[in-house]
Structure formats: C-alpha cells, structure tokens
Structure 1
C-alpha cells in the first residue's frame, strides 16, 4: 500500500495511515492499495461492506457506481491487448471528500501514466484525480481498438491471399473476445453517464461538464466495437467464399486435365484392342507419329484452355 498526499500535482509520501483520516489544509490523499489492505482501510474510512465484498470476491466485476454515505464506490475496467488477446483489469475506486482509494488485484498501467498528468494539471482535488483517471482508461480503449482493427485488416489480407484452416479459429476467437468486451462497454458507458449527468455532491458541478467529453468517447468506443463485430462476420463470409473459390479452382483444373487426356485415352484405347490388323501397325514410324500426334493434340488443347482462361 502506498500513501501520498497530492497538492498541485506534487506527491508527498505519507508514512502513517492514520494521518489520512484528517483532511489536509491543501490537497488530498491518494491511497494505492491491494485487496488485502482493505482489512485496514475499511474500519478507518467506514467503507461499505458490500463494496469491500465486491473487491474481494469478484474476479471480473461489472462497471458500476454506488453512492454511500461519505464516499462513492466506482468500478471501471482497464483494458490491455497482449499477445493478440484482450485482458480486462478491474479498477476499484473509493472517492471521499479528502481522499481517493484505488484498489486493484493486478498492476494497472493507467495509474502509472496518470502521475505526470496530475503534475502538469496541478491537481489538488480527488474528484479531478478521478476525472483524469477515467479519461486515461477510456482513451486506452481507442488504442486497443486501433490494434484490433489492424489485426482484422491483416487477417483479411491473409484470407484473400492464402486461406488456411487456422484462419477460422482466429476469426472465431477474436469475434468471441469482441462480443465479450461489448458486454462491458455498455455498463461502463452508463457509469460515465452517471458521473456526467447525476447531481453528485462529492464531484464539483463545473467538473461534471468535463465528463461529457469522456461520455462521448465512451459512446464512440461502443459504436467502434459494434463495427468490429460486423467486420468479423464479413471476415467469416470471406473465409467461406475463399474456400469455395479455391475448391472451384481445383475442380476446374482437374476438369481441364481430364478433358485433355480424354482424346489421348481414346486413341490409346483403340490401339490397345486385340485385333489382328490395325491401321499403321506395320509402319516403322507409326508409333512415333502417333505419339507425336498425341503430344500435339494435348499441347494444343492446353494452349486453347489457357487462351480461354480456363486454366
């Protein structure tokens, strides 16, 4: 657990947790804690039992905001896209008048990238801390969306150039992740809408207007992932179409080869009959003339098929 007093974006470490119970003359306290630290934090700050229970038991929490006496409990999901797989990390936030507590089970990059922004913006209020944190989390969805779009484009090119059976597994896997992520985007958008529209006494009225920009971004993200879901459906159709075209191409080649060899088989079939006398059988060069005729006939049919673009 790390305790810092934040004033005008400047971080000052605090050694004793009990010091955070008294509001500072200027600034606020930021307590960056693990779920195990809630055993110490709950009695000191009067954190609600249900909120603490959610932090301890829920592996993948649904984004939400709950209003309690003296503090708010907010859950948002940080997003990562590593090794072609989407990961969501629950970020639990307790917002009070003079403090903000962030509780996580895994390391979240947004908390580290937040520090220079707080210093640059000279943040001295916990509600402004919340605003910048939510803003960074939402912006990262755009970055992940760009990577997913690039992957879809790359997968589309691979399917058109060289269709493989493994492409179907990639399509199904990525589509499942997008649909799973879609279930989170709706509740998270609603949480931001609450921060934007609802009268919340722990958030400054002027600051609430800024949450409208984040809400617009959240709506854009939801629409973007709707588009990705549709693109995955188109990819699957392209995959099936490519397989059909490939099968038709193979059948066309086989049909052309069968057609070329059909007259040759007819000729060899005639001269393979058990008759005492066949035309040209006593001619010394008969075999070579017949073989040359067959080669000429086969080659001529092959060139004709190429000219007709049948091969």
Structure 2
C-alpha cells in the first residue's frame, strides 16, 4: 500500500512530522519552531502533528506553550479512548484501524489530540502511522481547509470512522461467504476463528471510543449546532459499528457451532455405518471362527460339499440380517 511521505524540514525538531498554519488556506510551516509557537494570529489556527516517543517530543510540546500535564498526557505510552477537559482545552484519545503494511487491523493505532479554540495538536508513536490522519492531510493539501480546530477534529473522527466501516463491512462479507458454504476445510475453520478474534479485538476499543465521542458532545460547550450534529452522527456510527461487531461475534460463534455439529454428524454417520457392517459380519466371523478350528469332531469335515453349504448359509444369514436392519429402519 502506498502512503504519503511525511514532510520534514531541516529547521524543525525531529519530533514534528508536519505543521500547518490554517486560516482561509493551509500554509505548511517550513521555518523554525519559534514561528510555529506564535499564537497571536488575527485569525485561523495551527495544526501540529508530532511523534510522541521522539527524544525531543516533550521539549517541542513545551515550546508550543503546553502545560506539563498536557505534555505528559500526549507523550504517554499506553492509552485507551477517552475525552477529558483541561482548562480551556480538551484532551482526546482515539483509536484507528491499523492499515499499515503487514499489520493486523485489530492492532489499532492510538491517536492523541489536544484541542483548543486556536490549535489542534496530534501525536502518535513511531512506526504507527494512522492512514485516516493521512487522508485528512491529503484533503488539506488539495485545498479542502477546515474552518476551526473543532472542524478539523471532526474531519479526523470521520476519516477514522470511514476506515472502521471498511473493516466492519469486510468482516460481514467474509461471514456471509462462510454462511453460504456447504462444506468447509481446516483452513476455513481457522479463518473463522481469526474473524471472531478480530471482531472482539476491534470492539474492545470501539466501545470506549463511542463513550469518548459522547463525552466530547456533552462537555465541549464551544461547538456550534452544526458541529454538535456532526459529532452526534459520528457517535451513532460508532454505536452501530459496536453493534455490528457484537453481531459478527455471535454469527462467528453460531458458524463455529454449526461446523462442530456438522463434523460430529459426519463422524457419527461413519461410526454408524461401521457399526452396521460390524453387526452383519459379527455372526459370520463367529461361524468362520468355529469351523476354522483345527480339532476333531467338527461337522462336515468328511463331506466334500461342506464348504459350499457353509458359504451359502453365511450368505443367506448376511441377507437376512441386512433385511432385518432395513425393516427396523436402521438405514
């Protein structure tokens, strides 16, 4: 999969992946960090995206004027989706589908966001590119510029939801294919277990992410009516995806039960056939065992046609047993 390169400039700290000054247009920052730290713009806002685990990430964030607790929150190693108010801003943790090469979709990428009325600062870990964020950046480069940091946040949430939608739809299509199959192989059963594991792993983060979006809706009083409507729509989408993943888990469990029942039924049928064959040949084996004994006094030892009589008798006995099983509806 081809991804866009993250621009770097010689005068920027290594932790800064990209930075924009956004007003009516988006201007990439190509100068030093001091220019980026300026906040006395008459209009517009700034968007800074950093690598949170870079050695100079904390000093970079401090130079942007962030408080110590915000800097530590953006650089923390472990996160779960949530939204918290800090003074005049909001700290938001989100998770997006991992679409990096050779990555599992359920290994979701963490995105940290600091949102105020005049800036949005986002952070991610090394080698954990979030393609949903790259989609937003591509739109900005093409001239689709958000009006406020809240609009930029909603664009990011929407792109994250779009990627989640693709993954949930893919799981649904795979389950539909399994439901249409009449026979399954060992590989299919392993794949079904993998689908169930993916659905459970993705849902683990989507449920708290739905609550995080709901917290933004309830606590962020600076949102406009249109922004609140869009945020509520995205929250409803997350709720629907959580429900779809719950349904996918249940469908996978039902399919696994059906596969186990089908395998058990096949094994039971084979054992049943073997039991019927054994029931037919058991008396025949008894007769061959008796007449095969090398002892004196056996009947027919002096009779030339004794073997023919015994063979015909065994054949008739087998036919009688077979007819009796058919009459008993054992077949």
TM-score, with normalisation over the residues of structure 2?
A: 0.76
What is the match of residue 30 of structure 1? 47
What is the match of residue 77 of structure 2? 58
Q: Which runs of 5+ in 2 are unaligned?
A: 1-15
What is the match of residue 262 of structure 2? 242
Deviation at 1:231, TM superposition (A): 2.4
1:126 to 149, 154, 173: 149
Paired residues for 1:265-304 under 5 Å: 265-273=285-293, 274-276=295-297, 278-279=299-300, 282-283=303-304, 286-287=306-307, 290-291=310-311, 294=314
Q: Deviations over 1:46-90 (max 9, x none)?
A: 32333332333333x111112223432111011237666611111
What is the match of residue 28 of structure 2? 12
What is the match of residue 61 of structure 2? 42
Give the number of the structure with larger relative contact order, counting CA–CA contacts within 8 Å between residues 6 or more apart: 1
Deviation at 1:148, TM superposition (A): 2.5
Paired residues for 1:70-109 under 5 Å: 70-80=88-98, 86-105=106-125, 106-109=128-131
Specify whether residues 26 and 243 from structure 1 end up closer, same or farther in structure 2 by C-alpha distance, changes over 3 A only.
Answer: same
Deviation at 1:137, TM superposition (A): 0.8
1:215 matched to 2:228? The reply is no
Specify whether residues 101 and 179 from structure 1 end up closer, same or farther in structure 2 by C-alpha distance, changes over 3 A only.
Answer: same
Deviation at 1:138, TM superposition (A): 1.6
Aligned length: 306
Q: Which has the higher helix share?
A: 1
Contact 1:6 1:30 in 2 (8 A): yes
In 2, the alpha carbon distance for the partners of 1:23 and 1:297 equals 105
1:185 to 192, 206, 227: 206
Deviation at 1:252, TM superposition (A): 0.4
Q: What SS does structure 1 have at the residue aligned with 2:129?
A: coil
In 1, the alpha carbon distance for the partners of 2:180 and 2:313 equals 45
Q: Which runs of 5+ in 1 are unaligned?
A: none
Deviation at 1:44, TM superposition (A): 2.7
Contact 2:97 2:164 in 1 (8 A): yes
Contact 2:192 2:252 in 1 (8 A): no
When the two chains are superposed, the root-mean-square deviation of aligned CA atoms in Å is: 3.6
Task: Please identify, of 179-188 and 61-70, the stretch whose mean Cα deviation from structure 2 is larger.
Answer: 179-188
